[in-house]
Amino acid sequence: MILLLCIEWLERATELIEKDDAARDTLGLAKPSYEELDDVRSLKRPQGVCDAILRSLGLDDIPPGGLKNEDR
């Protein structure tokens, strides 16, 4: 089940990236570089949403403060 969700997420992400690239080409806008995309990893994640997703997968033993990134 989790693998199926991951595959669906990857397909949807790929579709959105392709649409974004096409729109940027049409408008003559630059596409972000790999380094710019990699910088996104340093952005703070919405903890509550991440915890809710884990709970919906049956992982409801999450501590009150949520999981640390290194525990995910």
Q: Cβ contacts of residue 72 below 8 Å, gap of 6+?
A: 50
Local confidence band at 9 (pLDDT 50, 70, 90 cut-offs) = confident
The pLDDT assigned to 24 comes to 93
Residues 11-63 pLDDT 10s: 988 998 899 999 999 999 999 888 888 887 787 766 667 777 777 777 666 55
- pLDDT confidence of residue 66: 60
Rounded (5°) CA angle 72-56-15: 75
